């Protein structure tokens, strides 16, 4: 469907003036994938579904910024439900094994420099990475890594899974599998942990402002890295590069990471 045809469909949706909403897509019919923005004397629309190319704007310039804001302004969205930090989260200084984990997985610098909020959960015996929603500045959840072999699962998700764990404030970002890798890279690039090997649609709003987005999942998941890069490109990201790794990023020191990405 070309731009004109799309605009006709959009105009016939009985849109409210000066309003942003997320709704079912009238083109691909997927639920809640369409963002519509009628603020600022224009109509902008964008569908996030991988199979759907619907997007456009009528009068006025709209950038991806508005998509970001629309995502984060949607107050009833589950991605925004804030998470109450349990009493069992203590400083990792209280637990030697937790300290050792941070040291051995190159999380120490990001912890000491406050790029990451890291705790020790005495109830579950886990090192915990607190997930912040940068748009609301609220705690969205946390990710806990088990410190002994008998604790299952190895990685435990507290609270919402809709916000990725992000560490660092660099212009370029790298999508990684776990929080430790996100911390390890954060002196060089912003680390974004998927907590797995698949991208969730609600993550998109949190990764769209970076100059270059590298995808560097663990060594055994290079094929998945390429799949994620492809998915991002299909959603309008043109600045995506895959980095194949010889080992997981959490095992590299900051200067080694710099040479992996920038030499």
Binding region for Zn ion (CB under 5 A): 25, 27-28, 47, 49, 52, 54
- In order of 102, 181, 186, the CA distances from 109 in angstroms are 9, 12, 9
Minimum gap (Å) between residue 54 Cβ and Zn ion: 5
| Placement of tokens 């637990």 in the chain | 95
Question: 55 or 224: whose CB is closer to Zn ion?
Answer: 55
Q: List the beta bridge partners of residue 36.
A: 21, 45
* Residue count of the chain: 263
For the four alpha carbons of 170, 175, 180 and 184, in that order, the dihedral sign comes to: negative
Question: 235 or 250: whose CB is closer to Zn ion?
Answer: 235
CA angle 203, 209, 211 (to 5 degrees): 120
Burial class for 67, CB neighbours closer than 10 Å (0-12, 13-18, 19+): buried
Question: 26 or 86: whose CB is closer to Zn ion?
Answer: 26
| Placement of tokens 């609301």 in the chain | 136
Question: 27 or 158: whose CB is closer to Zn ion?
Answer: 27
Minimum gap (Å) between residue 29 Cβ and Zn ion: 7
Question: 52 or 130: whose CB is closer to Zn ion?
Answer: 52
Take residue 200 and report the two structure tokens written for it.
């969730």
Minimum gap (Å) between residue 26 Cβ and Zn ion: 8
Q: List the beta bridge partners of residue 241.
A: 214
Is residue 92 within 8 Å of residue 118, measured between CB atoms? yes
Take residue 112 and report the two structure tokens written for it.
């000491």
Minimum gap (Å) between residue 66 Cβ and Zn ion: 17
Spatial separation of the C-alpha atoms in residues 59 and 49, rounded to whole Å = 24
Minimum gap (Å) between residue 21 Cβ and Zn ion: 15
Minimum gap (Å) between residue 25 Cβ and Zn ion: 3
Question: 25 or 207: whose CB is closer to Zn ion?
Answer: 25
Question: 49 or 250: whose CB is closer to Zn ion?
Answer: 49
Q: Do the bridges between strand 213-215 and strand 240-242 make them parallel or antiparallel, or are there none, so unpaired?
A: parallel
Minimum gap (Å) between residue 50 Cβ and Zn ion: 9
Take residue 61 and report the two structure tokens written for it.
């310039």
Run of H or E including 139: strand 138-146
């Amino acid at each position: 469907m070309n731009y004109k045809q799309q605009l006709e469909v959009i105009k016939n949706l009985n849109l409210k003036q000066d309003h942003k909403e997320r709704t079912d897509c009238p083109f691909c019919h997927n639920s809640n994938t369409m963002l519509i923005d009628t603020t600022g004397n224009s109509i902008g629309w964008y569908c996030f579904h991988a199979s759907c190319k619907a997007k456009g704007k009528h009068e006025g310039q709209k950038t991806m910024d508005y998509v970001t804001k629309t995502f984060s302004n949607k107050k009833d969205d589950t991605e925004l439900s804030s998470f109450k930090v349990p009493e069992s989260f203590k400083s990792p200084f209280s637990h030697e094994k937790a300290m050792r984990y941070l040291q051995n997985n190159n999380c120490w610098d990001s912890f000491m420099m406050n790029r990451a909020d890291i705790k020790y959960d005495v109830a579950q015996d886990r090192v915990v990475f607190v997930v912040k929603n940068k748009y609301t500045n609220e705690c969205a959840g946390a990710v806990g890594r088990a410190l002994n072999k008998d604790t299952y699962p190895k990685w435990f998700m507290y609270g919402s899974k809709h916000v990725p764990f992000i560490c660092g404030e660099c212009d370029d970002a790298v999508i990684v599998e776990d929080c430790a890798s996100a911390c390890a890279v954060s002196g060089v690039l912003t680390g974004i942990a998927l907590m797995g090997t698949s991208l969730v649609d609600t993550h998109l709003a949190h990764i769209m402002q970076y100059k270059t987005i590298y995808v560097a999942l663990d060594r055994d998941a290079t094929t998945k890295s390429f799949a994620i890069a492809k998915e991002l490109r299909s959603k309008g990201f043109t600045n995506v590069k895959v980095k194949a790794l010889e080992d997981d990023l959490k095992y590299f020191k900051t200067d080694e990471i710099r040479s992996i990405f920038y030499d």
